[in-house]
Amino acid sequence: MQLVIYLGIPAVVCVVGLLIARFFAHDIMKQDVGTQRMKEISGFIRSGAMTFMLEEARAIVVVLVVVAAILWLLWSWEVGVSFVIGAFCSGLAGFIGMNMATNANVRTTQAAKKGSSPALRVAFSGGAVMGLAVGSLALLGLCAVIWLFKSYFQPASICIEDVEVPFVSSFLGRNINFIKAAVIVSAYSMGASLVALFDRVGGGIYTKAADMAADLVGKVEVNIPEDDPRNPAVIADNVGDNVGDVGGLGADLLESFVGAIIAVIVILLYAFVGRHNLDICRNLLSKLGISDFNAANFWPIILLPLMIVAGGIVSSLIGILYVRLSKNENIQRTLMNGTKLSALLTGIATFFIVRYGSPFNLVPFWAVLVGIAAGVLIGIISEYFTSSRFKPVQKLAESCQQGAGVSIARGLALGMESCFWPVIVIAVATIVSHHLGGLAAVTYTALGMLSFVVMTVSVDTYGPIADNAGGIAQMANLDNSVRKVTDNLDAIGNTTAAIGKGFAIGSAAFAALGLIAAYIWSSVGEAAEVNLPVVYLISPQVGAYVIAGLMLGAMVPYVFSSLLVSSVADTAHAMINEIRKQFKEKPGILEGKELPDYNRCISIASTKSLKRMVMPAFIALFSPLIIGFVLGRSVLVGFLIGALLSAIHLAIQCANTGGALDNAKKYIEEGNFGGKGSQAHAAGVIGDTFGDPLKDTVGPSLDILIKLMSVISLLFASLFPICPIFFK
């Protein structure tokens, strides 16, 4: 009965969420698509996006089948099925979101003819469809998996009354079941991660290669403006916005969301397993206010995170409705207020859920609150470093007067400097939540950060839709007034994107930390063989190997980033050659008499970006396995944490360096330091070319890297040896 309630309520919330998304979608599709030309252009973008999605889907299915088969062989069919469901939910959410975004863009353009508010309504509704799809499908899939395989979550067997010995023995008998339950939910998370890898890395390469190619030839060589229909890469560029910023971001946050939820579940499952040291398990649960173990409180304990995020979905829905119904002309404020409202309501909902719907004390609530606060703070910090309203970007723009060499160096310095506060926030949140309630509280903090994910995805997806809408207005040669409205929406979208990017990094870091904590709890306790969960940094048993693991782990994000930058540059290079060829072969294109062949560029971008993600994917998938099998579980902890450390810093640095250089250029274009055409502007353009792949490909992909490596480790943990294989 409890199971029905604790799975049923979240499931109902998800279904309601999906119905509302359906309503929004219906509402959008009713809107006018405008002129024939607009329809045509948006058709190009849609079909380009579909081309990429189909090619990607084909690649994903192959990998999916292989991985599912491996999981089946290693464990059982249930694990494989859970993995496939996770991948399917993530893929479906991405498809719904992209489909909606490519319909909403042209309708936003059309609505912009009537003013800002109607345009915002359409664009934001498009975003909300994606947001609701992400949150609801991810949660619904997880509910389904737990329901399907509920026999492995055996509540009956934990009905223990008092003494220790029977407790332990009754558990040791259940060990395998519980471990399997943990593996099943981990596999679900890994399915979502795998799709995210394709969406974020492949999409990231696609979007920036297209952007770079379109700019380098269009703006620099033949001197035509952004989004000019004569540019053969212009459609690919607009497709890229959808592929990278809608599909990629959605999949990224969906992955964080699932990771954060399952980290809590796995830690609690293992606390119930009991393992070697009962006291430590008791200790973990007692910090959360649980002193007696019995069947009556099993499901409420294990499934609390589902209830909390269901509360987050409802709160986000209210925030979405607020934004849609708001008549406030200050769009930026409306969006911010909506986000704050969702965060606040999530906090309140969590309080009631924890207080009245769980056997816990208030520690999970406080931990969630810490997570929410940290998420909001990190977003605000990102904005400070990347918005031209603040000093850092203004000073960066000023330094463009000294040439691109100096300004890029300063841009890099700005990105490095901007690591300071977010890392302090993450470190303090970790310390505070651990102080509150141990490792389990740390996972709850991660959950808190992700709990209102529906709202963040909605706001983040609004940006690229507005961006596309502006592109369509330009390409369809609409009136300047329309372009002005879409430009304004786009500018706000840039701000929300900066905040969203910071948030995505912070939440990825926390989700990874949660997964690592779960991994430590689930596996490495055995290694210590004394006190679970104790992990040695250096010890007679594992020596300085953990330090070596930290070093190797810290190196991975650097190599991974390097591959991505090269991939973007190479793909852009191939596209540039194609564009030049088209201009040469059909001189009519530049005169506006002939249509360029958009599809050639789209196809190059799709094929190349998928091909170039093989190596990064290989690293993400196999490096933890190699370390795990060769150097063992303890060293793998070091490896994961080392990777986390580098990835956090590189991701923040890349996002903020790129964002600041981009906005410094725009600040100059607004007429500062000489404006367009000045020497400072030339430096700004070079800086932007440099920064773009960092902020839109490297930074976001690093989010995926650490989560994927962590979840793989969690999944395969029990197969790894405890000590290095060459250890005597």
Give the binding range for a second copy (CB under 8 A) out of 30-38, 191-199, 375-383, 542-550.
542-550
Task: Based on the shown chain and the rule CB under 8 A, indicate whether residue 540 belongs to the binding site for a second copy.
Answer: yes
Closest separation in Å from C-beta 534 to a second copy: 4
Residues 268-287 within binding reach of a second copy (CB under 8 A): 280, 283
Q: Kindly tell me which of 427 and 719 has the beta carbon lying closer to a second copy.
A: 427
Q: Kindly tell me which of 123 and 210 has the beta carbon lying closer to a second copy.
A: 210
Q: Kindly tell me which of 74 and 413 has the beta carbon lying closer to a second copy.
A: 413
Q: Kindly tell me which of 251 and 397 has the beta carbon lying closer to a second copy.
A: 397
Alpha-carbon distances of 94 from 53, 144, 435, 512, rounded to whole Å: 9, 19, 38, 21
Looking at the DSSP bridge assignments, the partners of residue 543 are 539
Residues 425-484 within binding reach of a second copy (CB under 8 A): 426-428, 430-431, 434-435, 438-439, 442
Structure tokens at 258: 């699932």
Closest separation in Å from C-beta 608 to a second copy: 16
Say if residues 144 and 89 touch (Cβ distance below 8 Å).
no
Give the binding range for a second copy (CB under 8 A) out of 80-88, 181-189, 346-354, 561-569.
561-569
Nearest to 243 by CA among 696, 717, 719: 696
Say if residues 10 and 310 touch (Cβ distance below 8 Å).
yes
Q: Kindly tell me which of 486 and 567 has the beta carbon lying closer to a second copy.
A: 567
Q: Kindly tell me which of 219 and 324 has the beta carbon lying closer to a second copy.
A: 219
Q: Kindly tell me which of 131 and 437 has the beta carbon lying closer to a second copy.
A: 437
Phi-psi region of 477 (alpha: psi -120 to 50; beta: other; left: phi over 0): left
How far apart are the C-alpha atoms of 226 and 532, rounded to whole Å? 59
Task: Based on the shown chain and the rule CB under 8 A, indicate whether residue 15 belongs to the binding site for a second copy.
Answer: no
Task: Based on the shown chain and the rule CB under 8 A, indicate whether residue 219 belongs to the binding site for a second copy.
Answer: no
Structure tokens at 473: 């207005």
Residue linked to tokens 């990771």: 259
Task: Based on the shown chain and the rule CB under 8 A, indicate whether residue 577 belongs to the binding site for a second copy.
Answer: no
**Could you write out the DSSP letters of every residue in 150-182?**
GGGS-SGGG---S-HHHHHHHHHHHHHHHHHHH
Q: Which of 175, 330, 562, 577 binds a second copy (CB under 8 A)?
A: 562
Task: Based on the shown chain and the rule CB under 8 A, indicate whether residue 565 belongs to the binding site for a second copy.
Answer: yes
Q: Which of 533, 624, 632, 700 binds a second copy (CB under 8 A)?
A: 533
Q: Which of 138, 142, 378, 550 binds a second copy (CB under 8 A)?
A: 550
How far apart are the C-alpha atoms of 139 and 451, rounded to whole Å? 11
How far apart are the C-alpha atoms of 722 and 528, rounded to whole Å? 9
Query: Is 543 strand, coil or helix?
Result: strand
Q: Kindly tell me which of 405 and 587 has the beta carbon lying closer to a second copy.
A: 405
Residues 59-78 within binding reach of a second copy (CB under 8 A): none
Closest separation in Å from C-beta 673 to a second copy: 14
Closest separation in Å from C-beta 397 to a second copy: 14
How far apart are the C-alpha atoms of 722 and 535, rounded to whole Å? 12
How far apart are the C-alpha atoms of 297 and 307, rounded to whole Å? 15
Residues 490-529 within binding reach of a second copy (CB under 8 A): 513, 517, 520
Task: Based on the shown chain and the rule CB under 8 A, indicate whether residue 544 belongs to the binding site for a second copy.
Answer: yes
Judged by CB under 8 A, the number of residues near a second copy is 90
Q: Kindly tell me which of 283 and 328 has the beta carbon lying closer to a second copy.
A: 283
Residue 535 has, within 13 A of its CA and on its CB side, a CA count of: 24
Closest separation in Å from C-beta 448 to a second copy: 16
User: Taking each helix axis from N to C terminus, what angle separates 2-30 and 77-112, rounded to the nearest 10 degrees?
Assistant: 30
Task: Based on the shown chain and the rule CB under 8 A, indicate whether residue 536 belongs to the binding site for a second copy.
Answer: yes
Task: Based on the shown chain and the rule CB under 8 A, indicate whether residue 601 belongs to the binding site for a second copy.
Answer: no
How far apart are the C-alpha atoms of 100 and 130, rounded to whole Å? 8
Task: Based on the shown chain and the rule CB under 8 A, indicate whether residue 574 belongs to the binding site for a second copy.
Answer: no
- x-or-dash string of contact with a second copy, 635-664, rule CB under 8 A: --xx--xx--xx-xx---x-----------
Closest separation in Å from C-beta 209 to a second copy: 11
Closest separation in Å from C-beta 650 to a second copy: 8
How far apart are the C-alpha atoms of 285 and 281, rounded to whole Å? 6
**Could you write out the DSSP letters of every residue in 11-29?**
HHHHHHHHHHHHHHHHHHH
Say if residues 676 and 187 touch (Cβ distance below 8 Å).
no
- x-or-dash string of contact with a second copy, 165-204, rule CB under 8 A: ----------------------------------------
How far apart are the C-alpha atoms of 468 and 47, rounded to whole Å? 14
Contacts of 509 (CB under 8 A, 6+ apart): 426, 644, 647, 648, 706
Q: Kindly tell me which of 212 and 485 has the beta carbon lying closer to a second copy.
A: 212
Task: Based on the shown chain and the rule CB under 8 A, indicate whether residue 573 belongs to the binding site for a second copy.
Answer: yes
Residue linked to tokens 């359906």: 22
Contacts of 594 (CB under 8 A, 6+ apart): 586, 588
Q: Which of 688, 696, 700, 711 binds a second copy (CB under 8 A)?
A: 688
Residues 348-407 within binding reach of a second copy (CB under 8 A): 399, 402-406
Q: Which of 334, 488, 689, 701 binds a second copy (CB under 8 A)?
A: 689
Residues 413-432 within binding reach of a second copy (CB under 8 A): 413-417, 419-420, 423-424, 426-428, 430-431
Closest separation in Å from C-beta 681 to a second copy: 13
How far apart are the C-alpha atoms of 293 and 301, rounded to whole Å? 10
Task: Based on the shown chain and the rule CB under 8 A, indicate whether residue 725 belongs to the binding site for a second copy.
Answer: no
Determine the straight-line distance between the first and last CA of the chain, rounded to whole angstroms: 51
How far apart are the C-alpha atoms of 696 and 241, rounded to whole Å? 10
